[in-house]
Structure 1
Amino acid sequence: MTTVDDSESPLAASPAVLQAPDADAEGVAQMAHLHGEFQAIITESIRQARAYRVWGRVWKTAHILLGLPATVLAAFSGATGLSSADARIPAAVLALTSAGFAAAFSFLQSDAKAARAKRCRNAWLVIEADARLSAAIDGYRAVPEMHRALVRLLEQRRAILAEDFDRAFELSQASTVTP
């Protein structure tokens, strides 16, 4: 049976753990709970980023599938109508079909929704990276530092959910400046 010397453990050598005033059982339990909260934010961020990636693809596809046929049908409609007087009926059908695609294209605003999904996805990826970094750095400090990092992450999360991306990215940049 092999024994492990605690002095070789990275946690044992960490000054934050050695000097933490609350290194008793309650402090350790609180640190474990805070680590769990970091992990919950990371998990939620990954899930949200994946969901917005899928929605971004859906809206990009809708943008292409509605916009391209509208344009092509409008061109064919014009060419058909100008070709001869007997082609009025097919030209009208093509024009109506093109108008339907254009109306759906305009109503859905799939290009704006694709851009929004991309922005949301990027925001969730940023908060995931920030949470991982905070867990790696602040996770080995005393409880107050961990708590401050978690509060900042939750503020970022609130900003993303409110679609205040400028605030979310501002909070992220502020966290990377602080050592």
Structure 2
Amino acid sequence: MSFDFKEEGLIRKIRLEEELLKELDSQLHAHLLRDGMNGLTFCHRWLLLGFQREFEHSDAIRLFEILSSHHLELNSLEAESARHSERMTHFQREEGKIRPELPSTNNDYTFELFICAAILLEKKQLLLKCADEVELIQFTNGLQGALNLDRVLERAEQAFFNYCNKSVMDCFKKLCTEPKKKGFFSFKLMDLFS
């Protein structure tokens, strides 16, 4: 956690948030990263303070506990264990043949980045009306104590699952589009049934 308070740690988080927002909503991403908007630096306080000013005090404490528990973390031990188990199952199914790694999720996307994205997506229409950095700062100051944690958590969880689902679907698409080696016999059998 201490790395997040260093300049390079926070810059890295903002870059990751930019990448995640691009995945989730390319229109909003393009708007916020155009000239004069200064990217997502207005999210600095959110990420640095763990959204402590955006929610009522009791909700902010609850959110802190959720984020501290590593709920829905792509880089958690549970997630890595699940990925390892899937790789081993695949390895056994392929009878020990080693295949190149399939596309995977970005494990650097922490749940707090999905929380941040959920807020941005919930307020998308207001953000699209912002024309410069000053309006963005006024927008963020207007959010103090005004967000509904349950709605934000629901949206963040949905974005998280959609991202994971898209990653899995990308893996299946890669598997399905890999060229299949056809033996002479199986090729002839397939011709009979087509």
Q: Which has the larger Rg?
A: 1
Q: Is the helix fraction higher in 1 or 2?
A: 1
- If the length of structure 1 is used for normalisation, what is the TM-score? 0.36
TM-score of the aligned structures, taking structure 2 as reference length: 0.34
